[in-house]
Structure formats: structure tokens, C-alpha cells
Amino acid sequence: MLTEELRNEAEPIIEAIYNDTFIQGLIHENIEADAIIHYLKADSLYLKEFANLYAMLIAKTDSRETVKYLLGQMEFLLEGESEAHAVLSQAVGMTYEEITDEGVWYPSADHYIKHMYFNALTRENIAFTLSAMVPCPYVYRRLAEKVMARHTFEADHPYRGWFEFYARDMDDTLDVMQTIIDNEAEKMSEDDLRQIKRNFMESTEHERRFFNMAATKERWMEVGIHV
């Protein structure tokens, strides 16, 4: 199975993300409030575009089942993940709405989002875009799994609910995305397969860059965006 191979290939990157500042900061409760705020400002825009990408995929598929799945995913995105974001917002003593009142396309988030759009805009087969999107649920699920296996959190640990959310709620998304990619992959040319693999690995690296973006409070240096 292609996606199984990709998951194995991504494992060292996910282990690196686990050891980077952001996730370690959540585990050990020593993350800076500003890093969380930075993350949420970028993530609210990322998830909004992620929902828009699902809408673009709906227009590309002629399978009723796939349309139903994509609609369900849009709903999950627009509603469900607020639970995870509420955990982070609460930890810095603000509401999610206050923090994300103005979202920001910081450079790494910008690059990641445009990587997904490039595939949606240039490829008819939805497997290309999905291969760039699936590391989103996968990396978080895998990170949460690792964290829960290696740590026991007290009931009042401020980020416990964040890890629990991603350990619990990503499986349906993952299953469908992976099935579509694996089915399409069986019919693909070597060149297209290479692109699918590259999309997946690039997005996995984008996930790492996204957390590091927040940890370092990355900003545009020369463009006049002073936010």
C-alpha cells in the first residue's frame, strides 16, 4: 500500500517534530504564550483554506460517496476542531475568537497552504491534492499517539485535552483520504506516483515548519506586513 509506505517514510520527521520546541513545550508546560498565539493565528487561516480545498475537490469528483465524505469533513473542520483550539486559547487566557480576530499568513504557513492549492489548481485527479492534505490529520494523530504512549498527564494538565482530541478524532478522515489515494495510485504512471510521494513528504515537512514557525514567531522580514 502506497500510503503505508509513506507513513513509514514520514516517521523520522514526526519523531523530529515530537522533539522540537513546540510539542516539547506543550508536554512540559513551558511553551511561550506568544508561540501559542502565533500558532493559532496561522492555524485559523490554514483550516479555513483546508475547508475551501475540500470544496474544490467536491467540484472535481463524480463519486457521490466521495462528495458525502468531503462535506462531512468540511463540517468537522468548521465545527469540531474548535475543541482543540479552545484548549490552547484557554491556556493563554484568551478566547479563540480574540486571538484569531486577525489571522496571519506567516511565511511557513503561507508556503504550506499554497502547496496544497497548487495541486488543487493544476491537477484534476483529487489524489494529488489529498496527498498534500493527508499529513495534516496524520501527523497530528501520530504525534498525539506518541505523546499519550510516553506520558501520563495529570487531570489538570493544560494541554492534555489538545493531545486527547488528536489521538481520538482523526481516524475517519485518515481512512477515507488514504483509501482514495491508494486506489488512484494503482492506476498511475511512475511520474505521477513520484509526485504523490513528494507531495506527502513535503507536507509532512511543512507540518514541522509550521510548529517551528510558531515556536520562533516567524515573520516576513521585508514585506510591509507588521502584524
Which CB sits closer to ligand HMH, 136 or 180?
136
Name the minimum Å distance from CB 144 to ligand HMH.
Answer: 10
Name the minimum Å distance from CB 118 to ligand HMH.
Answer: 17
Which of these is catalytic: 32, 97, 136, 205?
Answer: 136
- Is 83 among the catalytic positions? no
Structure letter (DSSP) for residue 170: -
- Is 75 among the catalytic positions? no
Which CB sits closer to ligand HMH, 128 or 210?
210
Name the minimum Å distance from CB 207 to ligand HMH.
Answer: 6
List of residues 6+ apart from 104 with CB closer than 8 A: 41, 42, 45, 225, 227
Cβ–Cβ < 8 Å for 135, 170: no
Cβ–Cβ < 8 Å for 33, 224: no
Binding site for ligand HMH (CB under 6 A): 43, 46-47, 81, 136-137, 140, 207, 210
Which of these is catalytic: 102, 124, 184, 207?
Answer: 207
Mind giving me the DSSP string for 102-118? Answer: S----HHHHHHHHHHHH
The kind and range of the H/E element at 199 are: helix 190-215
19 by DSSP, 3-state: which?
A: helix
Name the minimum Å distance from CB 89 to ligand HMH.
Answer: 13
Which CB sits closer to ligand HMH, 83 or 194?
83
Which CB sits closer to ligand HMH, 81 or 184?
81
**Backbone phi, then psi, for 47, in 5-degree steps?**
-70, -35
So which residues are the catalytic ones?
A: 136, 207
